[in-house]
Amino acid sequence: MTEYDAIAIGSGIGGLVTAALLARYGKRVIVCESHAIAIRCSAYV
């Protein structure tokens, strides 16, 4: 089973930046997005 150090809920700018920073420092991160399209900026749609 794959294990992660962190789970980012939502692929908005907040989730993606957090996930990218954690990954940059060696953490295993998964980003979970409820919408079919990632980075959709739900505030706009």
Binds ligand FAD (CB under 6 A): choice among 14, 20, 28, 30? 14
15 binds ligand FAD (CB under 6 A): yes
**Smallest separation, CB 25 to ligand FAD (Å):** 20
30 binds ligand FAD (CB under 6 A): no
Residue 11 and residue 33 in contact, taking contact as beta carbons nearer than 8 Å: yes
Q: What's the rounded Cα separation, in Å, for the pair 45 and 21?
A: 26
Please name the amino acid found at residue 12.
G
31 binds ligand FAD (CB under 6 A): no
